Chain A
Amino acid sequence: MKTEADNMVAPTGEQAPNTRKSRSQWAEVWRRLRRNRMAMLGLVIILIIFFTAIFAEVIAPYDYRTQNLMRVADPPSREHLLGTDDLGRDILSRIIFGARVSLQVGFVAVSISLIVGGTLGALAGYYGGNLDNVVMRFMDVLLAIPSILLAIAIVSAFGGGLINVMIAVGIATIPVYARIVKASVISIKEQEFVEAARAVGARDSRIIIKHILPNSLAPIIVQGTLGVAIAILSAAGLSFIGLGIEPPTPEWGAMLSSGRHLIRRAPHVATFPGIAIMITIFALNLLGDGLRDALDPRLKQ
Chain B
Amino acid sequence: MDQNTTTPLLEVRNLKKFFNTKQGLLKAVNNVSFEVKQGETLGIVGESGCGKSTTGRAILRLVEPTAGEVIFEGEDITAFRPDRVRAFRRDAQIIFQDPFASLDPRMSISEIIREPFEIFKLYSRNEQLERVQELMKLVGLSTKLTNSFPHELDGGRRQRVGVARALALDPKFIVCDEPVSALDVSIQAQILNLIQDLQDRLKLTYVFISHDLSVVRHISDRVAVMYLGKIVEITSYHNIFTNPQHPYTQALLSAIPIPKVDAKRERIILEGDVPSPVNPPRGCIFSGRCPFVMDKCREAPPALTETADGHFVACYLVNDTAEEPES
Direct contact of A and B (CB under 8 A): yes
Q: Which of A20, A196, A199 contacts B152 (CB 8 A)?
A: A20
Q: Is the CB of B138 within 8 A of A1?
A: yes
Which segment, of A5-13, A78-86, A141-149, faces chain B? A5-13
Quote the shortest CB–CB distance from B10 to chain A (angstroms).
16
Q: Is the CB of B202 within 8 A of A197?
A: no
Given known contacts A1-B202, A11-B137, A201-B116, A196 and B190 CB-to-CB distance under 8 angstroms: no
- In chain B, positions 202-226 with a C-beta closer than 8 Å to chain A are 202
Given known contacts A14-B142, A25-B105, A201-B90, A195 and B120 CB-to-CB distance under 8 angstroms: no
Given known contacts A1-B170, A9-B194, A202-B119, A197 and B104 CB-to-CB distance under 8 angstroms: yes
The number of residues on chain B lying at the interface, defined by a beta carbon within 8 Å of a beta carbon of chain A, is 54
In the complex, residue of chain A having the shortest beta-carbon distance to the beta carbon of B187: A12
What is the bound-complex CA distance between A28 and B190, given in angstroms?
A: 30
What is the bound-complex CA distance between A210 and B119, given in angstroms?
A: 12
What is the bound-complex CA distance between A202 and B165, given in angstroms?
A: 13
Q: Is the CB of B142 within 8 A of A192?
A: no
Quote the shortest CB–CB distance from A133 to chain B (angstroms).
15
Enumerate chain A residues within 8 angstroms of B104, measured Cβ to Cβ.
193, 196-197, 210-211, 215
Per-residue 0/1 for A88-129: is the Cβ within 8 Å of any B Cβ (1 yes, 0 no)?
000000000000000000000000000000000000000000
Q: Is the CB of A196 within 8 A of B140?
A: no
Enumerate chain B residues within 8 angstroms of A3, measured Cβ to Cβ.
134, 137-138
Given known contacts A192-B97, A201-B119, A22 and B102 CB-to-CB distance under 8 angstroms: no
CB of B35 closer than 8 Å to a CB of A: no
CB of A24 closer than 8 Å to a CB of B: yes
Q: Is the CB of B147 within 8 A of A22?
A: yes
Q: Is the CB of B190 within 8 A of A9?
A: yes
CB of A209 closer than 8 Å to a CB of B: no
Enumerate chain B residues within 8 angstroms of A211, measured Cβ to Cβ.
104
Q: Is the CB of A12 within 8 A of B142?
A: yes
What is the bound-complex CA distance between A26 and B108, given in angstroms?
A: 12
Q: Is the CB of B149 within 8 A of A12?
A: no
Q: Is the CB of B103 within 8 A of A199?
A: no
Enumerate chain A residues within 8 angstroms of B139, measured Cβ to Cβ.
9
Q: Is the CB of B98 within 8 A of A192?
A: yes
Given known contacts A3-B134, A13-B144, A193-B101, A199 and B157 CB-to-CB distance under 8 angstroms: no
Given known contacts A13-B144, A17-B144, A200-B169, A24 and B149 CB-to-CB distance under 8 angstroms: yes
Q: Is the CB of B134 within 8 A of A196?
A: no
CB of A264 closer than 8 Å to a CB of B: no
CB of B277 closer than 8 Å to a CB of A: no
Q: Is the CB of B149 within 8 A of A23?
A: yes
What is the bound-complex CA distance between A153 and B4, given in angstroms?
A: 77
Quote the shortest CB–CB distance from A211 to chain B (angstroms).
6
Enumerate chain B residues within 8 angstroms of A12, measured Cβ to Cβ.
140-142, 156-157, 160, 190
Q: Is the CB of B116 within 8 A of A200?
A: yes
CB of B290 closer than 8 Å to a CB of A: no
Q: Which of B60, B108, B157, B190 contacts A24 (CB 8 A)?
A: B108
Enumerate chain A residues within 8 angstroms of B89, measured Cβ to Cβ.
199-201
CB of A77 closer than 8 Å to a CB of B: no
CB of B29 closer than 8 Å to a CB of A: no
CB of A130 closer than 8 Å to a CB of B: no
Enumerate chain A residues within 8 angstroms of B166, measured Cβ to Cβ.
199
Q: Which of A17, A25, A195, A199 contacts B151 (CB 8 A)?
A: A25
In the complex, residue of chain A having the shortest beta-carbon distance to the beta carbon of B109: A22
Instruction: With A13-B157, A196-B102 given, name 10 new contacts (CB 8 A).
Output: A1-B138, A8-B140, A14-B142, A22-B108, A24-B106, A25-B105, A196-B103, A196-B104, A200-B168, A201-B89
Q: List 13 A-B contacts (CB under 8 A).
A: A1-B167, A3-B134, A5-B201, A9-B140, A9-B197, A11-B137, A12-B140, A12-B190, A13-B142, A195-B57, A195-B102, A203-B86, A206-B119
Interface residues of A (CB under 8 A from B): 1, 3, 5-6, 8-14, 17-18, 20, 22-26, 28, 191-193, 195-203, 206, 210-211, 214-215
Query: What 5 A-B pairs are tightest by C-beta distance, nearest first?
Result: A13-B142, A9-B140, A192-B102, A201-B89, A200-B116
